Structure 1
Amino acid sequence: MQQDALILELQNGNERAFERIYHLYSESTYGIIYSIIRDEKIAEEVLQDVFLKIWDKAPSYNSDKGRFFTWILNIARNASIDKIRSKDFKNDQQNLKTDNFVDILEAKTNFSEAVDAIGLKKYIDALKPVCKKLIDYLFFKGYTQKETSEELDMPLGTVKTRNRICIDKLRAMVIK
């Protein structure tokens, strides 16, 4: 089944289309969720929530506003960020086990893995280092613009402007 037809079937409430969408996108969506949350069990829960949202919000998807996969990733990213900002998640993280610290230290190299998981590595590699850092913090680590500003010791206005410029450059490369 062609992707446009599959999406249309999903929007019409076809459960088989939903199963196919899950099969096609769940692995890469989980990769994005896990790169933000860094906890397998919670990432699996968020993945299930994301696909419930996809099912519920499928009629609102509009191909004129972007690609279907991008729409899914935005839902996943937002759900992940909501989860890590939740009170329950923060309380659970106060008592981290020592093996989590190893994961956190190893996460420094996770940017390229996350980018590879969704097929953006070749485009990201073409960007300037400042763009790579901004995209890493804002989209893969789930930082807010204010947190990114503090982390990179850069004025908030500069973060916002550079982020917009970097995303525009990335968009231009992907659309070509």
Structure 2
Amino acid sequence: MAKLGFGGGCHWCTEGVFQALRGVAQVDQGFVQAGAPADTWAEGVIVTFDPSVIGLATLSEVHLRTHSATRARSPRGKYRSAIYIFEDSQRHEAELVIARFAIESGKAVHTLVVPFRSFRASEERYQNYYRNDPNRPFCRRYIDPKLDFIRQHFSEVALPDART
């Protein structure tokens, strides 16, 4: 198993996105901290995955395509667009995915690749936000469209039902 962290917007959405993928064993939702300039706590998730089923490149591409990676944010803000690496060897591949996405989109991508430093879980009542009640208005409005996108564009790694 391997780990990566992702931050991009609301961690409820990010958690739901990664829970919808084959090969993802666990998604821990909360707040992530990295080194400067990303040394403040920001919403994010830690994804534990099986690289023989789903790779870093696919996870990173799903991430870039399911949040506003091209919207500039302060690296010190609560909603930092980032890929948090757990090993130095992950940096190059993550940066290649970002560069390819920037070329395809024709826009600057504001996603940082930074070393993971620390994690603090969200309150228990927010864990598994989508799975616990996918019919909440927030889930229907913001998470369901992302899951539909994954099923359409990443069908080879999409779970048929994100609530399982």
Q: Shorter-chain TM-score: which interval?
A: under 0.3
Superposition TM-score, scaled by structure 2 size: 0.28
Determine which structure has the larger strand proportion and give its number.
2
Determine which structure has the larger helix proportion and give its number.
1
Question: Which protein shows a greater Rg?
Answer: 1
Greater RCO, CA 8 A, separation 6+: 2
